Chains A and B, each alone.
Chain A
Amino acid sequence: MNYDVIIIGSGVTGAGIARELSKYKLKIAVLDKASELPSGASRANSSMIHGGFDDKPGTMKSKFCVPGNKLWHKLTQELDIDFNPCGSYVCAFNDDEIKHLELLLEQGKTNGAPGVEIISGDKLREKEPNVSKEIVAALWSPEAGIINNFEAVNALIENARLNNADLFLETLATGLLFDEKNNIRGVTTNIGEFFAPVVINAGGVHSGEISKWAGDESFKIIPTKGEYLLLDRTTKGFINSFLFSCPSKAGKGITVLQTAEGNLMSGPTATEQEDPEDRATTPEGLAEVLKGARRLVPDFPVKLNITTFAGVRANTESGDFEIKVLKTPRGFVNVAGIKSPGFTSSPAIAEYVADLLKEELADRIKLIPNKKFIPERRNIPRFLYLSMEERKKLAEKDPAYAQIVCRCETVTEGQVLEAIRRGAKTVTAVKMMTRAGTGRCQGGFCCPRVAEILSRELNIPLDEITRHGGESKLLAGKTKEFLLKGAE
């Protein structure tokens, strides 16, 4: 298969680059090993759009965070992504921590983060009455917000596809192809070879390995696990924004936030590990999160916990992003080590990558604007958030919108069918695209129903339906099958 650009990885970085490059007349292939998007760190993170005060001036992070924040404010409109521009607070418990706030304030000014200011603990408690009485001051960042990260990645990739990019799921890049001059010719994968003069490495926690294939070992990825607690949506309003702790020796500190959907959430830990795929939560990690959450919010209602999860971030030794076009082989671009504030920075990184291609790889591909580019994308209708009139109209037009599949999040069959039309093939894909199964019963009610719909629509036997691709089949076979086998 011949392309102009191959992007390895469809996290927020890869999907963002795909969407940006789809503004040009290019044949784009996006490869991802997962069965649904997002996977990896773009699925399991704090869903924070940072204000831009936290990054040391002069770093790549400081360069992209503030512009990324601005771009998200626009993108969430264009691409119909849930976004709560709620602002964030960094909370200080003592004089040392106030000094840290002052440092962050200075950094924020240098980085061009708008509206950042230090407020008193009492003023914070006016806005957030459930925070600790021991907080003495806070750094307020009004431009920060919380995004629906599941929607964001799907929106970016859907829009890129609408503008002719191709997405290949369950496609694991296994190596690079080089031409006779040892320049980039393509990518080998589990499903065959993909050819293109330019390959972009947006491989997240695997970006270090992929970079090695091109001979660049100048940086190392340190997989860093972050564990989280997620609470029931009935906690909505307990906290209305995003609360940071001051970083200490133990790490950046545990945060407490309200997700874009209104769930209370807390995390992450920061545990370095060897295995980039180890997303298991641990007793120690979960205890650390709870302790940190209670420090900020003493009555953190952990009784309403509905799930725990962990993501693995692509930390680098330098602590900064690794974005560059390699001199040799020609045609290889690293967009590696994208971790916090990676989600925030991603749209700015995508623009920067497009500029890099224009400036440094013009001999390999030409970026000619695509006049037919469609910037908008509409989300699957969110029944939960519609007015009664809108609901009635939708149900009249399509009766499938008058059938609930997920009772906790009020997701209708119409939404599930639309997710399947947009490419969902697994229970988790439907979850990522509709939020069916993200609620308080965690799929107890809707999982069998979603599986039935997938089976019916995709014409796959129910016992072949998977939770998240690979060997993750939901069922082991039909009843009586084991008995018959036993009798043989």
Chain B
Amino acid sequence: MENNNIDVLIIGAGPAGVAAGIGAKKEGAERVVVLERDWDLGGILQQCIHPGFGLRTFREELTGPEYMHRFINMAHEAGVEFRTNTMVFQIDKDSNSVWTMNKERGIECLNPKSIVLTMGCRERPAGAIRIPGTRPAGIYTAGTAQRFVNMEGYMPGKRAVILGSGDIGLIMARRMIWEGAEVEGVYEVMSWPGGLRRNIAQCLDDYGIPFHLQTTVKKIHGTDRLEGVTVAKVDEKLNPIDGTERYVPCDTLLLAIGLIPENELTRMAGIEIHPVTGGPVVNDLLQTSNPAVFAAGNVVIVYDLVDNVSDEGLIAGANAAKFAAGKISPNVKKIPVKGGENVRLYSPQFITGESDTIIYMRVTHPIEGPCKVTAEPGLYTQKLRYARPGEMNEVRLKADVIKSKPDLKEITIDIKPL
């Protein structure tokens, strides 16, 4: 457990971090260390005990812990070192020194040759949407509730309302039912679901849980424990419509109102953050504005499927290993990517064309019919049956196509109806 001579240091042992470890070792890095603040590896997937993971990577439907187990085994075989119960609390701007704490080892300073940020994301809290009312017990983000139920073995409440239709909220609606609790309904302020359609079907429809679009929680009631919420329909500007209010008695409000890349350390390190994704600006090498620092997974942009997170982890780890070995030129050309029609967010934001790459993107508005995703000038076209904000779309760019256009100044991506 030496602290010197670390080639690639990876922060966070969730799906992105474990894959980054594998990627770095495969690329030939000598010492690859993954730091994890929890006592076990796997990140948030530890508490995702429902099936649905790894359909693309393993062509099997796995639970979160099963999916991670496979990657963790691969990482061990590849010779990746892990340090659990180890939290990074500071990255120094100029030296890239990484400060860690651990009960046995105390406070230490690591100086790796390169760093991969794989801290994942966190949930938006109630305060972010400023719901008026009181502040009783019984209001949790869906992920916190999931931890209570799946990790601790406790129920947050007996009768829940779920605000927001992000995937964790949908999964938790079903989980609460399985545990004998009531779920009065799921309320979504937008006119489309936040999560995957398959989760709407499998978690709500199959259990008869009502799903209300264009409806929000307008007020919270109760002083000690939550007693109820007032729900109301919203207008086009998302403001509650007077006269549509309904009081719903409940002891629990679960929030699935969005995920935010967790970038406290990234900010500390002085790395440029993208104003829309909330994650670091990266190029297709998954390199940030600090050339020695790479990033992958939900810390960059919130993905819909874990398979993509693992893929990106492998890429970031491999490139971090290349950087540690001095194999990445600082002067590589970086072509900016611009989001055009109906593109809400996307990553990476710059393309080097060093290898084939995928730009992951989400649409602003759903298109419920044939449409196409394009990358101009003439780099990529793909027809789609639909495009929905809850599900990511991809632009696949070929390195040889990029290389064949030496005058390329900018790439514009769009999703348009056909």
Report yes or no: B127 in contact with A305, Cβ–Cβ below 8 A. yes
CA distance A472 to B136 in the complex (A): 7
Indicate whether A475 sits within 8 Å of B148 (C-beta atoms), given known contacts A307-B127, A442-B126.
yes
B71 within 8 A of A: no
**What's the interface size class on A, roughly?**
35 or more
Report yes or no: B264 in contact with A407, Cβ–Cβ below 8 A. yes
| B219 cross-chain contacts in A, Cβ below 8 A | 280
Which of A138-146, A155-163, A331-339, A461-469 forms part of the interface with chain B?
A461-469
Report yes or no: B141 in contact with A473, Cβ–Cβ below 8 A. no
Shortest Cβ gap from A206 to chain B (Å): 15
Shortest Cβ gap from B242 to chain A (Å): 11
A400 within 8 A of B: yes
CA distance A463 to B149 in the complex (A): 12
A474 within 8 A of B: yes
Indicate whether A467 sits within 8 Å of B136 (C-beta atoms), given known contacts A306-B125, A402-B106, A482-B179.
yes
Report yes or no: B107 in contact with A395, Cβ–Cβ below 8 A. yes
Report yes or no: A400 in contact with B103, Cβ–Cβ below 8 A. yes
Report yes or no: A402 in contact with B107, Cβ–Cβ below 8 A. yes
20 contacts between A and B (CB under 8 A): A280-B132, A286-B132, A305-B128, A306-B125, A306-B127, A388-B107, A403-B101, A404-B87, A410-B89, A442-B126, A444-B140, A444-B141, A448-B148, A466-B224, A467-B136, A476-B158, A478-B154, A479-B155, A482-B158, A482-B180
Question: Residues 152-184 of chain B: 1 if any A CB is under 8 Å from the residue's CB, otherwise 0?
Answer: 111111100000000000000000000111000
Shortest Cβ gap from B90 to chain A (Å): 8
B382 within 8 A of A: no
Report yes or no: A477 in contact with B155, Cβ–Cβ below 8 A. yes
- B residues whose Cβ falls under 8 Å from a Cβ of A: 37, 85, 87, 89, 99, 101-107, 122-123, 125-128, 130, 132-138, 140-141, 143-144, 147-149, 152-158, 179-181, 218-221, 223-225, 240, 251-252, 264, 267
Residue of B nearest to A479 (CB): B153
Report yes or no: B137 in contact with A468, Cβ–Cβ below 8 A. yes
Interface SS majority for chain B: mixed
Report yes or no: B89 in contact with A404, Cβ–Cβ below 8 A. yes
| B123 cross-chain contacts in A, Cβ below 8 A | 441, 444
CA distance A230 to B158 in the complex (A): 31
Report yes or no: A476 in contact with B89, Cβ–Cβ below 8 A. no
| A305 cross-chain contacts in B, Cβ below 8 A | 127-128, 130
Shortest Cβ gap from A305 to chain B (Å): 6
Report yes or no: A473 in contact with B179, Cβ–Cβ below 8 A. no
Q: Which 3 A-B pairs have the closest CB atoms?
A: A482-B180, A307-B127, A467-B137
* Additional A-B contacts beyond A305-B128, A403-B101, A472-B225 (13; CB < 8 A): A230-B127, A281-B133, A305-B130, A395-B107, A402-B103, A468-B137, A472-B136, A475-B148, A476-B156, A476-B181, A479-B153, A482-B181, A485-B180
CA distance A452 to B148 in the complex (A): 11
CA distance A127 to B147 in the complex (A): 46
Report yes or no: A472 in contact with B224, Cβ–Cβ below 8 A. yes
CA distance A442 to B141 in the complex (A): 10
A396 within 8 A of B: yes
| A475 cross-chain contacts in B, Cβ below 8 A | 148, 154-157
Report yes or no: B137 in contact with A474, Cβ–Cβ below 8 A. yes
Report yes or no: B130 in contact with A308, Cβ–Cβ below 8 A. yes
A31 within 8 A of B: no
Q: Which of A269-283 contact B (CB under 8 A)?
A: 277, 279-283
| B156 cross-chain contacts in A, Cβ below 8 A | 474-476
Report yes or no: A277 in contact with B223, Cβ–Cβ below 8 A. yes
Q: Which of A368-405 contact B (CB under 8 A)?
A: 388, 391-392, 395-396, 399-400, 402-404
> Contacting A307 at CB < 8 Å: which of B37, B125, B153, B220?
B125
> Contacting B130 at CB < 8 Å: which of A286, A467, A482?
A286
- A residues whose Cβ falls under 8 Å from a Cβ of B: 229-230, 234, 277, 279-283, 285-286, 305-309, 388, 391-392, 395-396, 399-400, 402-404, 407-408, 410, 440-445, 447-448, 452, 462-463, 466-483, 485-486
User: How many A-B contacts are there with CB distance less than 8 Å?
Assistant: 152
Residue of A nearest to B141 (CB): A444
Indicate whether A473 sits within 8 Å of B143 (C-beta atoms), given known contacts A306-B127, A441-B122, A479-B154.
no
Indicate whether A282 sits within 8 Å of B132 (C-beta atoms), given known contacts A396-B106, A441-B122, A479-B154.
yes
| B149 cross-chain contacts in A, Cβ below 8 A | 479
CA distance A404 to B138 in the complex (A): 24
| A234 cross-chain contacts in B, Cβ below 8 A | 267
CA distance A475 to B251 in the complex (A): 10
Report yes or no: A472 in contact with B103, Cβ–Cβ below 8 A. no
Residue of A nearest to B126 (CB): A442
CA distance A476 to B159 in the complex (A): 10
Residue of B nearest to A394 (CB): B107
Residue of A nearest to B90 (CB): A388
| A283 cross-chain contacts in B, Cβ below 8 A | 132, 218, 240
| A476 cross-chain contacts in B, Cβ below 8 A | 154-158, 181, 251-252
Shortest Cβ gap from B229 to chain A (Å): 12
Report yes or no: B101 in contact with A395, Cβ–Cβ below 8 A. yes
Report yes or no: B137 in contact with A473, Cβ–Cβ below 8 A. yes
| A281 cross-chain contacts in B, Cβ below 8 A | 130, 132-133
| A309 cross-chain contacts in B, Cβ below 8 A | 135
Residue of A nearest to B86 (CB): A402
Q: Which of B141, B148, B158 has the most CB of A within 10 A?
A: B148
Residue of A nearest to B179 (CB): A479
> Contacting B132 at CB < 8 Å: which of A308, A404, A479, A481?
A308
> Contacting A442 at CB < 8 Å: which of B37, B125, B157?
B125
CA distance A419 to B130 in the complex (A): 29
| B251 cross-chain contacts in A, Cβ below 8 A | 476
> Contacting B224 at CB < 8 Å: which of A230, A402, A471, A481?
A471
CA distance A285 to B133 in the complex (A): 11
CA distance A474 to B128 in the complex (A): 21
| A279 cross-chain contacts in B, Cβ below 8 A | 134-135, 223
| A485 cross-chain contacts in B, Cβ below 8 A | 180
> Contacting B179 at CB < 8 Å: which of A391, A462, A480?
A480
| A462 cross-chain contacts in B, Cβ below 8 A | 152, 154
CA distance A388 to B95 in the complex (A): 15
CA distance A293 to B219 in the complex (A): 23
CA distance A282 to B134 in the complex (A): 9
Q: Which of A305, A392, A448 has the most CB of B within 10 A?
A: A448
Shortest Cβ gap from A285 to chain B (Å): 8
> Contacting A399 at CB < 8 Å: which of B104, B132, B137?
B104
> Contacting B144 at CB < 8 Å: which of A410, A448, A481?
A448
CA distance A468 to B123 in the complex (A): 23
| A442 cross-chain contacts in B, Cβ below 8 A | 125-127
Residue of B nearest to A389 (CB): B107
| B264 cross-chain contacts in A, Cβ below 8 A | 407-408
Indicate whether A280 sits within 8 Å of B99 (C-beta atoms), given known contacts A396-B106, A404-B87, A471-B225.
no
CA distance A404 to B102 in the complex (A): 9
| B105 cross-chain contacts in A, Cβ below 8 A | 402
| B225 cross-chain contacts in A, Cβ below 8 A | 471-473
Indicate whether A477 sits within 8 Å of B154 (C-beta atoms), given known contacts A280-B133, A404-B89, A483-B179.
yes
| B252 cross-chain contacts in A, Cβ below 8 A | 476
Report yes or no: A486 in contact with B130, Cβ–Cβ below 8 A. no
| B134 cross-chain contacts in A, Cβ below 8 A | 279-280
Q: Which of A280, A391, A442, A444 has the most CB of B within 10 A?
A: A444
Report yes or no: B224 in contact with A468, Cβ–Cβ below 8 A. yes
CA distance A466 to B137 in the complex (A): 8
Shortest Cβ gap from B409 to chain A (Å): 32
Shortest Cβ gap from A149 to chain B (Å): 17
Q: Which of A308, A396, A478 has the most CB of B within 10 A?
A: A308
Report yes or no: A399 in contact with B103, Cβ–Cβ below 8 A. yes
Report yes or no: A402 in contact with B102, Cβ–Cβ below 8 A. yes
